Amino acid sequence: MSTGVTATTQKTVGGIRRKFAPWNDPAAVPLIRYQNVTKRFGDFVAIDNLNLDIYEREFFALLGPSGCGKTTLMRMLAGFEEPTSGQITLAGQDLVGTPPYKRQTNMMFQSYALFPHMSVWDNIAFGLKQDGMSKDAIAARVEEMLKLVKLEKFSKRKPHQMSGGQRQRVALARSLAKRPKVLLLDEPLGALDKKLREETQFELMDIQMELGMTFLIVTHDQEEAMTVADRIAVMNHGKLIQVDQPAVIYEQPNSRYVADFVGDVNIIEARIEATGSGTSTLRAEAAGDMPLTVHQEVASRPGDTVFIAIRPEKVRVDLDPPTEQGANCLPGTVWDIGYLGDLSIYHVELANGSRIKAAKPNLTRMVERPISWDDKVWVSWSADAGVLLTS
Amino acid sequence: MARNARGRWLVVAIPYFWLLALFLAPFLIVFKISLSQDAIAQPPYFPTFDLSEGWDVFREAFGELSFENYGYVLSWDNEFLEAYGSSLWIAGISTLLLLMAGYPIAYAMARAPKSIRPTLLMLVILPFWTSFLIRVYAWIGILSPEGLLNQLLIALGIISPDAPLQILATDWAVYIGIVYSYLPFMILPLYSALEKMDDTLLEAAADLGCTPIAAFWKITWPLSLPGVFAGCLLCFIPAVGEFVIPDLLGGSDTLMIGKVLWTEFSVNRSWTVSSAVAVLLLLVLVVPIVFYQNVQAREVEAR
Amino acid sequence: MRKGLSWFNVSSIVLGFAFLYIPILLLVIYSFNASRLVTVWAGFSVEWYFKLFQNQQLLDAAWVTLRVAFLSASVATVLGTLAAITLTRYGRFHGRMLFSGMIYAPLVMPEVITGLSLLLLFVAVGFDRGFWTITLAHITFTMCFVSVVVQSRLVTFDRSLEEAALDLGCTPFKTFFVITLPIILPAVISGWMLAFTLSLDDLVIASFTTGPGATTLPMRIYSQVRLGVTPEINAACTILIAIVTVVVIFASIMTKRQEVERERAERLAAAEA
């Protein structure tokens, strides 16, 4: 991948990206609208009365475990499934009843679905030929696409004569060739190894910016969704649990489900002692008689059960009690250590037997870490590190 | 695609109506004729239903249907019942022999190195592509009293030239003929069941202290059962109605229902009795056929 | 686990293949026998092959058989492929049970029943029996075999290939011809070959459904075989065997070649990546 080009476009991309937020603009008209969409397969409810707006030029990710309905949601946009009830519109046009071959969406399939009996060139030209484009126009567009995915030299190859990464790019070129209003990507990078996947994620973002297109990606890989997407919809059991920008999803999850699905998290069950003026005080069994503080107000009343979610990287572990004021601080014993190279994850057992995870970057090359198994330690986190969740 | 309702309808309808007209309807006709009586006319049975002569004639004709032919076929005085019994017996024995011959071959093929498996498979299928009739015919020259088998045995001094083995025109020749011509149908389902089997299962069994022979009976055999069922049914059902093999290799006392039906039809020229024989044969085979279809359907769904 | 060939496995394969091939080999060898007595070897001769080509009846029968087989295999391939699509793609529909029953039953149905029932149908509707009735009968029972062969290819067919074509603007009808058919073509061709061979081979159903003037090769061979073994029939059989062997070996070498080619290309691609 030519890193030179990528680096220069990256700057402008960043600039545009930072300002891009049509979902906050009440005047913006969504490109794709799902309105009260329900899809049943027999008794199974795949999509449950769902509403979702996606805007033009957005890179939107559907994230969730397998069977959560994310693929069905995408396939309904492509036309491979019809909603049982509800409406799907694309650029103001009602799509229900329109067959897939008349929709202005194109899809990149998880298996790539490259036609094995056609060359790379013919695969990319396939969609253009269906539109009855002139020969010259087709040739020009195919060349352009081959250039875009850097496969100019491979146009005469058959799919089975190419590596997985190359096939993936042919599939991308083929689905982009018709300049669809929306490009649908169904687990597009699932078959690639980790390194290549990470490279390709950035490439996808560049292409999306360069062509100014709307991308809808389905993935179960949260890192992938966070990397590429402007907004992420976290799904479960056919419902949208949270739809927001990656940082919001990660830092302010709206439920234990989202907090747990996206990234690693400690969840502490607690009772509210007082809440108001931006701060809540809580009691938790895990904390013994130490009160816990979170800089967040909740609608619950004192005595109600809530959950504190804290990311491991926001938890500190020290051999001595921290001196920081206002921090939540609990004593414990190191139960286990997971060494990951860049980080070490400390599993600390608290007084009541529950465990809390703390991630500590390995800042030096020491092989013997200062904190070891069975050491008495202190875990601490600041009052704005945790999030209070009521569900 | 639901939208292309008309194209979709055609795809189903063409083969569907073809089979309704040329597979199902003929059975109904066979059933109807089995209830009719022989006549010296064209067609050689009555009543015939001709709506052009009006409803009354039609209804009258209906009244002339009877189960007489079934009484005839099912009576102990005639050899039909014996023929059904002996067909099932011969087909059963042959299927057992087929399983005993086919299983080791299929097993060895599935264990063979991956590189030669396609060749072995082709070698099993190849005889199937040559004419069935030729393959049965080849055995006449081998099994006849002055045939090659007897020549060989005499040359080896195993039997005396005055008392050649009488195999042709006995039930044994029929067994050999059925086993020989149906062997590929037994081997193929067995092979595909055995080939699918994960080798690590046997390794796991050995690892857990199972001897190879015990591992075969506890792991390989149960897992190959779908193939065993498919193979046995694929051989047993057509073998019951076999005509060519008993006719060419069997003796005059080899009773098989396919041959009896053929004789009844072409020699005795009784269409009504042969229809009754066919209907009863179908009744006998309906259970294994339905069973076979379930095995097939499960096989397709499993994939 | 020791994989590969133990003495038991080797001997089962050797014995099994000996059993399968020795009768055919003997048949071929004795077709070159100079003696009229098939079981006594009297020296090498190709006399019977010459006799064979002067046997006009046999040649006529062969011509009828080939025409029936070609026509019925071609129609059966179309019908069988449609049936296979129906059974693998259309999920549940009214009468599916009956339909799949009618596809699978002929595979095991005793030929005497199929033959008799078709004959009675042709008589009932007043069809003149002969070439066309044999062809119709052969289409009916061979299409089921074609359907099974094509079905087994279709169940492993990646549906997303068709979806991709639809997605790129191709109509379902065109998708079938541009995408599906080319990919399943090998299975369709082997379905055709199977139907052709089955038709070529059939004695019982043809005997029931034939009429004056339409005698097929198996019927001709059968009537001569009943009179006893003759070297002439051996010669006819040998020619049939030779044709089939050459075609099958050629076909398998072609597929093998393609596989090797493909594997090489894949390895090349993997090395480049």
Does C163 have pLDDT greater than 80? yes
Q: For residue C141, which amino acid is it?
A: F
Domain carrying residue C199: 60-149+184-231
> Does some domain include residue C110?
yes
Better pLDDT: B53 or A101: A101
Instruction: Find, among A319, A303, A302, A329, the residue nearest to A383 by Cα.
Output: A329
Nearest CA in chain B to A82: B2
* Average pLDDT for C12-33: 89
- pLDDT over 70 percentage in chain C: 96
The number of domains in chain C is 1
Residue C47 belongs to a domain:
no
Long-range contacts of B245-249 (CB under 8 A, 24+ apart): B245/B136, B245/B174, B245/B177, B245/B178, B245/B181, B246/B90, B246/B174, B247/C226, B248/B136, B248/B137, B248/B140, B248/B177, B248/C225, B248/C226, B249/B136, B249/B139, B249/B140, B249/B143, B249/B168, B249/B169, B249/B173, B249/B174, B249/B176, B249/B177
Cα(C41)–Cα(B146) distance, integer angstroms: 12
Q: Which C residues 17-46 touch B at CB under 8 Å? A: 17, 19-21, 23-24, 26-27, 30, 38-39
Contacts of A4 (CB under 8 A, 6+ apart): none
**In sequence order, what are the residues at sequence separation of 6 or more whose Cβ sits closer than 8 angstroms to the Cβ of residue A388?**
A280, A282, A294, A296, A298, A306, A307, A308, A309
- CB burial string B165-190: b at 16+ within 10 A, e below: bebbbbbbbbbbbbbbbbbbbbbbbb
CA distances from B114 to A240, B109, B215, C5 (A): 49, 9, 22, 11
Write down which chains contact chain C via at least 3 CB pairs under 8 A.
A, B
* pLDDT computed for residue A230 by the predictor: 93
Closest by Cα among A374, A370, A346, A373 to A359: A346
Shortest Cα distance, chain B CAs vs residue A28, angstroms: 34
A178 and C168 within 8 Å at the Cβ level: the answer is: yes
Please tell me which chains touch A, using 3 or more CB pairs under 8 Å as the contact test: B, C
* DSSP 3-state of B6: helix
Q: B85-270+285-302 domain in CATH 1.10.287.3510?
A: no
- Tell me the residue type at C203: L
The 8-class DSSP code of residue C44 comes to B
Residue A8 half-sphere exposure toward CB, CA atoms < 13 A: 3
Residue C225 resides in a domain: yes
Average pLDDT value for chain A:
89
The Cβ-side half-sphere exposure at A337, using a 13 Å CA radius, reads: 19
Average pLDDT of the residues of chain C? 86
CATH number for the domain spanning C132: value is 1.10.3720.10
- Residue C270 near chain A (CB below 8 Å): yes
Which pTM was predicted?
0.83
Does a structural domain hold residue C115?
yes
Inspect the interface and report whether the beta carbons of B292 and C85 lie closer than 8 Å: no
DSSP code of residue C33: B
Tell me the pLDDT band of A240, cut-offs 50, 70 and 90: very high
Under the banding of pLDDT at 50, 70 and 90, the label for residue A2 is: very low
Report ipTM for this prediction.
Answer: 0.84
Angle at B169 between CA B165 and CA B174, to 5 degrees: 100
- Contact yes or no for C83/C195 (Cβ under 8 A): no
Of A57-61, A178-182, C136-140, C252-256, which gets the smallest average pLDDT?
Answer: C252-256
Range with the poorest average pLDDT among A3-12, A117-126, B243-252, C256-265:
A3-12
pLDDT at C46: 84
pLDDT tens digits, one per residue of C45-95: 888 888 888 888 888 998 999 999 999 999 999 999 999 998 888 877 788
The answer as to whether C44 is a domain residue is no
Q: Is the pLDDT of residue A7 over 50?
A: no
Report the distance separating Cα A388 and Cα A295, nearest Å. Answer: 9
Which residue of B10, B88, B133, B196 is the best one to mutate when testing the C interface, meaning the one whose CB has the most C CBs within 10 A?
B133
Binary contact (B1, A99; C-beta < 8 A): yes
Set out the domains of chain A in order of their start, with CATH numbers.
3-104+180-257 (3.40.50.300), 264-389 (2.40.50.140)
Per-residue pLDDT of chain B (303 residues; tens, 9 = 90+): 444 677 788 888 899 999 999 999 998 988 888 888 776 666 677 776 665 666 666 666 666 677 778 888 787 777 888 889 999 999 999 999 999 999 999 999 998 888 888 888 888 888 877 778 888 888 888 888 878 888 888 888 888 877 788 888 888 999 999 999 999 999 999 999 999 888 888 888 888 888 888 888 988 999 999 899 999 998 999 999 898 899 989 888 888 888 888 888 888 888 888 899 899 988 888 888 888 878 777 766 665
pLDDT of residue A363: 85
Separation CA A25–CA A28 (nearest Å): 5
pLDDT given for residue C273 in this prediction: 54
What CA–CA distance (Å, rounded) separates A16 from C36? Answer: 96
Q: A159 — phi, psi (to 5°)? A: -55, -40
Please say if the pLDDT value at position A16 is more than 70.
Answer: no
Distance of alpha carbon A325 from the chain centroid: 35
pLDDT of residue A161 exceeding 70, the answer is yes
